[in-house]
Amino acid sequence: MSRVEVHISLDRPGFSLDVDLNLPGRGVSALFGPSGSGKTTLLRCIAGLEPSAQGRLCVLGEIWQEGTKRLPPHQRPIGYVFQEASLFPHLSVMGNLMYGRKRTAIKDIFSLDQAIELLGIGHLLERRPEQLSGGERQRVAIARALAVCPRLLLMDEPLAALDLARKREILPYLERLHDQLEIPLIYVSHATDEVVRLADHLVVMNHGRVQAHGPLSETLACLDLGEEAGVVLQGHIGALEPEWHLARVDFPGGSLWARDQGLPLGRAVRLRVLARDVSLAQQPGVSSIQNLLAGVVDALGEDEHPGLALVRVHVGESLILARVTKRSAATLGIAPGQRLWVQVKSVALME
């Protein structure tokens, strides 16, 4: 089966990593977790850079590590992107792209032109790294990682060192990459906004352990991210109302209206629905809220604030999180299995 199987443990004074993961062989798996939780260490183990890592690593059917057998780092077909673009300062952009490529045997998977086109760096090829902006440098670093024709891409907080404007500049490139990439990408981040836009699969790490993992929507729905608690619904544009500048997004189990962003009918999109924007009611009251869905309570959980509760509700096949006061939870008598109405006050549409 073409998957990424990671069964790795590592002991350091004051820190241990113990991970057992079976990730999809395609798409973006986000490694998410607080600083110090072991995300970088896990990537380094996968890249073969941690000699004391024990266990088994099998990538798309090829064993990279098992028992005493381990492929040295340079024999692992990996594209690695770090937080700070580590380009060779004395080489041009083209020189940087060619550097890793010369040493790879397989050149079939990703053509250099494809990588250049995908990251929009065709006009930068003659420049030196010092003549690039931070965002451009990071795009080149991503293209360079693709140019080695990897079987697996690893990105370690590639946007973390950039300011918000640069981050916004690069995210669309990463989204295109996500759509076109046929190899797995393990993407480390502690930023929820990146994860909800890019990830298909979510791995939540804490203290060197996997706290939760699974498909993005389900896994997010089981996490309390404080103010950012919420879900992502994956669907497509099902209808447009140009007169009102609204777009209807159909997802498994329902549909919601969002502000139209000029996307065509049928386009696959994601909706971010924050728990604080969702309320629950027994009756579908008359209000200005038009996004009303029939739901069934799945579970009731604690919120960070003692006066609030997080309620997980099934809407068809999807899950939605609602943050309500404990008082209204008590008034509504919220309990698993209960049918109620889910009112969504606002949603963010993402391409």
Q: How far is the CB of 9 from ligand ADP (least distance, A)?
A: 13
Cα 6 to Cα 13: distance, rounded to the nearest angstrom: 22
**SS3 sequence, 187-240?**
EEECCHHHHHHHCCEEEEEECCEEEEEEEHHHHHHCCCCHHHCEEEEEEEEEEE
The option from Mg ion, ligand ADP, none interacting with 219 (CB < 5 to 8 A, set by class) reads: none
Given the complex with Mg ion, which of 21 and 149 has the nearer CB atom? 21
When binding is defined by CB under 6 A, the residue of 6, 19, 21, 38 that contacts ligand ADP is 38
Given the complex with ligand ADP, which of 44 and 312 has the nearer CB atom? 44
Given the complex with ligand ADP, which of 15 and 244 has the nearer CB atom? 15
Q: How far is the CB of 194 from ligand ADP (least distance, A)?
A: 15
Given the complex with Mg ion, which of 40 and 318 has the nearer CB atom? 40
Given the complex with ligand ADP, which of 41 and 318 has the nearer CB atom? 41
52 lies in the binding site for ligand ADP (CB under 6 A):
no
Q: How far is the CB of 80 from ligand ADP (least distance, A)?
A: 14
* Contacts with 9 (C-beta within 8 Å, 6 or more apart), sequence order: 16, 17, 18, 19, 53, 54, 55
40 lies in the binding site for ligand ADP (CB under 6 A):
yes
Q: How far is the CB of 333 from ligand ADP (least distance, A)?
A: 41
37 lies in the binding site for ligand ADP (CB under 6 A):
yes
Of 228, 210, 226, 221, which Cα lies nearest the Cα of 274? Answer: 228
Given the complex with Mg ion, which of 185 and 278 has the nearer CB atom? 185
35 lies in the binding site for ligand ADP (CB under 6 A):
yes
11 lies in the binding site for ligand ADP (CB under 6 A):
no
Using CA atoms, how far residue 139 sits from 84, 103, 142, in Å, is 11, 21, 5
Number of residues that bind ligand ADP (CB under 6 A): 10
* Contacts with 181 (C-beta within 8 Å, 6 or more apart), sequence order: 26, 27, 28, 153
Instruction: Return the residue nearest Mg ion (CB atom).
Output: 40
Q: Could you tell me the two tokens for 238?
A: 């099902």
Of 34-42, 169-177, 253-261, 294-302, which segment contacts ligand ADP by CB under 6 A?
34-42
* Dihedral over alpha carbons 223, 224, 225, 231 (to 10 degrees): 60
Cα 67 to Cα 47: distance, rounded to the nearest angstrom: 16
* Rounded (10°) angle between helices 134-147 and 164-180: 20
* Contacts with 32 (C-beta within 8 Å, 6 or more apart), sequence order: 39, 188, 189, 190, 192, 195, 199, 202, 203, 204, 205
Q: Could you tell me the two tokens for 123?
A: 């006009």
Given the complex with ligand ADP, which of 37 and 343 has the nearer CB atom? 37
Query: Which residues contact Mg ion by CB under 5 A?
Result: 40
15 lies in the binding site for ligand ADP (CB under 6 A):
yes
Which residues form the interface with ligand ADP (CB under 6 A)?
A: 12, 15, 33, 35-41
